[in-house]
Amino acid sequence: MTDAVAGLRARAVAVPAWAWLTGIVVCSSVVRILLTRQVVAPWIMVDELVYSELAKSFAEHGRFLIRGVPTGGYGYVYPILIAPAWRLYGAVPHAYAVAKGINAVVISLTAIPAYFLARRLVGSGLALVASLLAVLVPSMLYAGTIMTENAFYPLFTCACLVLVLTLERPTVRLQVVLLALVLLAYLTRAQAVALVPAIAVAPLLLGWIERNTERARQLTAEELDELLSLQGTGGPLTTLGVEHFVNLIERKRKLMHKVQAIAGTEYIDLLEQLVNLMFEKVQPYGDRV
């Protein structure tokens, strides 16, 4: 049994990573296409109808119209992506099925940038696992809907990959590609604007981490969330610097340790009175109990 397992493992390792990655994309696409056949009609109202109308209008007239009326406020990348379905088929049921097939393939392509993103940290085996997990998330069910998530998911993952590459090698070419991806993501879903402050703050955070490796390792997940919540173009993290807020976080951590130590002694009553007094000072009058 051990020899058989070792043989299978040796054969699996002998297969190049690109072949496994291609297999993941193809298998995911086929499974998603089969699953989308169970979705017989749009059910996210009215978004699916809007994007199908935009795709149909672009396929027929090269314009974005809803029942013949020009419209704005919707992402244009996704309607363009599925427009060939309405270009090829006049019958709505056939066009709807082809659009879902396009969804299945496009959203499955997320495995590719996910693999290369994971390769920045781990070997090819674990990176393939990461790419597989990327196409196993429940949100992959959006392949059965006419929704922008199908285009945004792979675009967002590509943007994350290029951001990491840009931080590693900040060349002009990579910066241009990153900005183009962010723009493309924004034209898919307006929520992509959140990538702008993330990109602005990322070099500051990376620079601080490289200069303060040991301190960075001591930051908990909650503290990192608190730090990242301050990001923003022109926001406090950008204007005051990472060091300022990390110092505050470290001071709070030390203070909490001291409070916990005092709370385990006979001075807990005095501590409680002091905390209550200070709490009343900082709480708005209307929020006091």
Q: What is the chain's pLDDT, residue by residue, as a tens digit (289 residues)?
A: 576 676 667 777 789 999 999 999 999 999 999 999 999 999 999 999 999 999 999 999 999 998 888 888 899 999 999 999 999 998 999 999 999 999 999 999 999 999 999 999 999 999 999 999 999 999 999 999 999 999 999 999 999 999 999 999 999 999 999 999 999 999 999 999 989 988 988 888 889 889 999 999 998 888 888 887 776 555 677 677 888 888 989 999 999 999 999 988 989 999 999 989 888 888 765 555 5
pLDDT score, position 229: 78
Task: Please indicate, yes or no, whether residues 225 and 101 belong to a single structural domain of this protein.
Answer: no
CA pair distance 81, 155, nearest whole angstrom = 13
Domain that holds residue 6: 2-188
Residue 49 DSSP SS3:
helix
Task: Please indicate, yes or no, whether residues 25 and 153 belong to a single structural domain of this protein.
Answer: yes
Task: Please indicate, yes or no, whether residues 244 and 183 belong to a single structural domain of this protein.
Answer: no
In a domain, 31, yes or no: yes
CA pair distance 41, 62, nearest whole angstrom = 25
Task: Please indicate, yes or no, whether residues 171 and 229 belong to a single structural domain of this protein.
Answer: no
Among candidate residues 188, 204, 223, the one where a domain is terminated: 188
Q: Which two tokens stand for residue 208?
A: 């601080």
Task: Please indicate, yes or no, whether residues 6 and 140 belong to a single structural domain of this protein.
Answer: yes
Task: Please indicate, yes or no, whether residues 30 and 141 belong to a single structural domain of this protein.
Answer: yes
In a domain, 73, yes or no: yes
pTM passes above 0.75: yes
Q: Which two tokens stand for residue 238?
A: 């950008």
- Select from 35, 60, 30, 36 the least CA-distant residue to 48: 36
In a domain, 82, yes or no: yes
- Select from 117, 121, 199 the least CA-distant residue to 158: 117
Task: Please indicate, yes or no, whether residues 101 and 224 belong to a single structural domain of this protein.
Answer: no
Task: Please indicate, yes or no, whether residues 146 and 279 belong to a single structural domain of this protein.
Answer: no
Among candidate residues 137, 171, 188, the one where a domain is terminated: 188
Query: Structural domain tally of the chain?
Result: 2
In a domain, 239, yes or no: yes
In a domain, 276, yes or no: yes
Task: Please indicate, yes or no, whether residues 158 and 255 belong to a single structural domain of this protein.
Answer: no
Among candidate residues 173, 188, 203, the one where a domain is terminated: 188
Task: Please indicate, yes or no, whether residues 288 and 253 belong to a single structural domain of this protein.
Answer: yes
pLDDT score, position 280: 86
In a domain, 81, yes or no: yes
In a domain, 260, yes or no: yes
In a domain, 208, yes or no: no
pLDDT score, position 235: 64
Task: Please indicate, yes or no, whether residues 260 and 173 belong to a single structural domain of this protein.
Answer: no
Residue with tokens 């088929």: 89
Task: Please indicate, yes or no, whether residues 154 and 39 belong to a single structural domain of this protein.
Answer: yes
